[in-house]
């Protein structure tokens, strides 16, 4: 009986990894061309954007919150980078024109994402607006601002230098994969080796107890949402540089994939339980699923149905595991 319980605990702990390996085996057998080097790099490059968003989403969900605005923040941040880099900033009222280098444009985009994330945090912590409502509002606001900034048209012709950030290779590995790897390492260290990480888990585990123990819960949440916004902007940089253009519809629906990656990776929607590495496995599962279904030529509408059932299954398993503990 004890051995059976131990095996069950191991199965629950490594369920995401086992699911990923099972999917790889199935698609390798059923989908010709899936188990190749080219497709391996393609999956990693496709997963890189979702990884950036999902790491930020993990931090948010660990505190018991949610962020529906990550896709729209990605779009606006990317558009800001592209617009400033190509056209600069014209201020006719002051008879002033400001040109931007690549570094300056990227920095402005990252600051935009950070500010929008910070704004989400302020609405949630200072004005007591539920995270679902606050970030849903930001989803609409940021998408509208993107359309205003771009005039409803794509900003194109950004040049090879900008495109290298999303399409270049370094030491035989895509630059965007290096970027995501760095983000993952920093996030793992932040959550596992720092006081801030312990506070994040404490807030998500029992917010009232965390408050009574003297933790500044508002400040922790504010920082978490700001980091989520910043990582969304990094995702915007990758998307914009990969396409060498910024479009008003960029990142549309990305928030769903990021939430799915977090949930499939084992992070509890009620907060306080989960890990970044689990989220990475969740993002890989979604990436492998997308790649396999495309190679098998499954119609796009059916792909959405299948992904929806996978997410539903992951949430169901999480709830069942929670009841047993």
pLDDT at 198: 94
Q: Is residue 270 part of a domain?
A: yes
Q: Is residue 11 part of a domain?
A: no
**Does residue 4 carry a pLDDT above 80?**
no
Distance CA 234, CA 275 (A): 20
Q: Domain holding 75: CATH number?
A: 1.10.3470
Q: Is residue 18 part of a domain?
A: no
Number of domains present in the structure of the chain? 1
Split at pLDDT 50, 70, 90, the class of 271 is confident
Q: Which domain holds residue 138?
A: 38-317
Contacts of 73 (CB under 8 A, 6+ apart): 112, 113, 116, 117, 138, 142, 229, 232, 233, 236, 251
Kindly state the DSSP code that residue 124 receives in the 8-state scheme: H
Angle between helix 102-125 and 131-150 (nearest 10) = 150
Q: What is the pLDDT of residues 272-315, one digit of tens each?
A: 888 999 999 999 998 888 888 888 888 888 888 888 888 788 77
pTM score over 0.85: yes
Q: Is residue 85 part of a domain?
A: yes
Q: Is residue 75 part of a domain?
A: yes
pLDDT at 236: 92
3-class DSSP assignment, residue 96: strand
Contacts of 244 (CB under 8 A, 6+ apart): 156, 157, 158, 159, 162, 163, 166, 167
Distance CA 20, CA 18 (A): 5
Q: Is residue 17 part of a domain?
A: no
* CA triple 90-72-227, angle to 5 deg: 95
């Amino acid at each position: 009986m004890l051995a059976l319980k131990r095996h069950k605990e191991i199965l629950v702990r490594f369920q995401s990894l086992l699911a990923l390996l099972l999917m790889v085996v199935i698609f390798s057998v059923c989908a010709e061309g899936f188990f190749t080097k080219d497709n391996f790099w393609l999956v990693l490059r496709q997963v890189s954007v979702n990884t950036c968003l999902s790491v930020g989403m993990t931090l948010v969900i660990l505190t018991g919150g949610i962020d529906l605005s990550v896709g729209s923040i990605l779009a606006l941040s990317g558009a800001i980078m592209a617009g400033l880099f190509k056209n600069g900033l014209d201020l006719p009222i002051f008879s002033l024109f400001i040109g931007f280098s690549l570094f300056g444009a990227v920095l402005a985009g990252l600051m935009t994402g950070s500010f929008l994330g910070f704004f989400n945090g302020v609405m949630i912590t200072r004005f007591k607006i539920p995270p679902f409502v606050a970030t849903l509002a930001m989803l609409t606001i940021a998408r509208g601002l993107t359309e205003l900034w771009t005039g409803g048209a794509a900003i194109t012709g950004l040049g090879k230098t900008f495109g290298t950030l999303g399409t270049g290779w370094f030491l035989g590995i895509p630059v965007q994969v290096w970027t995501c790897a760095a983000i993952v390492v920093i996030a793992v260290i932040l959550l596992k080796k720092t006081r801030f990480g312990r506070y994040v888990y404490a807030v998500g585990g029992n917010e009232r107890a965390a408050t009574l123990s003297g933790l500044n819960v508002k400040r922790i949440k504010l920082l978490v949402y700001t980091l989520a916004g910043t990582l969304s902007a990094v995702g915007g940089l990758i998307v914009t540089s990969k396409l060498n253009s910024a479009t008003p519809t960029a990142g549309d629906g990305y928030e769903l994939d990021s939430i799915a990656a977090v949930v499939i990776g084992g992070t509890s929607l009620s907060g306080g339980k989960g890990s970044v590495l689990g989220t990475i496995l969740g993002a890989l599962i979604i990436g492998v699923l997308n790649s396999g279904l495309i190679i098998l030529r499954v119609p796009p509408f059916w792909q959405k149905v299948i992904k929806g059932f996978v997410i539903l299954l992951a949430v169901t398993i999480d709830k069942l595991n929670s009841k047993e503990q």
